[in-house]
Amino acid sequence: MHINLISDTITKPTPEMLSAMFAAQVGDDVFGEDPTVNTLQEKAAVMFGKEAALFCPSGTMTNQIAVKMHTQPLDEVILDHYSHVYQYETGGYAYNSGVGVNLIAGTNGKITATQVEAAIKPVHDWLPLSRLVVLENTANKGGGSFYTLDEVKPIRQLCRKRGLKLHLDGARLFNALVETGETTQDWGAQFDSVSICLSKGLGAPVGSLLIGDQDFIKNARRVRKVMGGGMRQVGYLAATGIFALENHVERLKIDNNRAKVLGETLQSLPWVESVRPVQTNIVIFDLKAPLMADVFLKKLAEQGVNAAPFGPATVRFVTHLDFTEEMLEKTVEILKGMKN
């Protein structure tokens, strides 16, 4: 049995998804004529109580389009120092939008209204203009931690008062919502734009959605095109996204619970220094010296379990649709058997 805990992006389309692809009606989406893409976009917009949505090849693209749309060159984006937009998008904010970042050292990838307020710059010729705040939910590098709506609302109010836009990188938003019971409509109402990934926990092979108002999405289509993201008969992929939104949201609770079991197991092992609080489907833990991540991961791989380093002595496990109960039991057994 091969077990892969590297990321929730590694899942393969299910047989039902493949059937949905075969059955999809398609057209040229650059002309807006792919009915399956249009259905997916309308579905996502309605889910979040917004007017429109845009299907894109990746979450990097949906975030980058959002930054581009909300800013002008010489502006500044306020965000947590762990943010995907800052850490893992190749510095695209500078390249695509000509903006800087104002990084906040939050708690497990989360920032507060007080921290945002302190970060907003006064208006002077010699300072960048604070224009956009980006929140990430769940926070990936933050260990899968999540915001509640009560934490987001003061940030929203502050942004309104100070004239800043608010974007949500909701790559794994649904992993949070199955825990809090909060709704997509409530979340949509707090943000000017929302990005969600279909290819993470939801298990679709490709794709993300940018969600916002009509004018915003109309212009975002132009930015997607200039980034090379206008696709043709892409309804074949959109069909898997529709299936995922209809069938794979509630089951994320299972992934979250399996991650908790892994976290509790690790907590009890003598060679583990500490485990970050497991809130969703990500488990980040530190190894006890002198054990290093590369040595540990090699031993783990020899027993058929693959995972990713997250620092010299830090490791990340991510649970997902293709990580079964049987695999969970096997992984727990392997971890408990490791002496290191």
Ligand X SMILES: *Cc1c(COP(=O)(O)O)cnc(C)c1O
Q: Which residue is nearest to ligand X (CB)?
A: 59
Nearer Cβ to ligand X, position 50 or 316? 316
Nearest to 41 by CA among 205, 227, 215, 32: 32
Beta bridge partners of 308: 316
Nearer Cβ to ligand X, position 45 or 176? 176
d(CA 94, CA 137): 23
Minimum distance, C-beta of residue 200 to ligand X, in the bound complex (Å): 6
Length of the chain: 340
Minimum distance, C-beta of residue 174 to ligand X, in the bound complex (Å): 13
Strands 100-104 and 165-170: unpaired
Minimum distance, C-beta of residue 251 to ligand X, in the bound complex (Å): 19
Nearer Cβ to ligand X, position 140 or 319? 140
Q: How many CA atoms lie within 13 A of 131 on its CB side?
A: 20
Nearer Cβ to ligand X, position 60 or 193? 60
Minimum distance, C-beta of residue 332 to ligand X, in the bound complex (Å): 25
Q: Which residues contact 95 (CB under 8 A, 6 or more apart)?
A: none
> Hey, what amino acid is at 12?
K
Minimum distance, C-beta of residue 61 to ligand X, in the bound complex (Å): 7
Sites of contact with ligand X (CB under 6 A)? 58-60, 63, 84, 136, 140, 169, 171, 197, 199-200, 208
Nearer Cβ to ligand X, position 59 or 129? 59
Helix (H) or strand (E) run with residue 102 in it: strand 100-104
Is residue 66 within 8 A of residue 90, CB to CB? The reply is no
Nearer Cβ to ligand X, position 68 or 84? 84
Nearer Cβ to ligand X, position 241 or 265? 241
Give the DSSP letter string of 41-97. Answer: HHHHHHHTT-SEEEEES-HHHHHHHHHHHH--TTEEEEEETT-HHHHSSTTHHHHHH
- Within a 10 A sphere around the Cβ of 107, how many other Cβ atoms? 12
Minimum distance, C-beta of residue 87 to ligand X, in the bound complex (Å): 9
Minimum distance, C-beta of residue 140 to ligand X, in the bound complex (Å): 4
Helix (H) or strand (E) run with residue 212 in it: strand 208-212
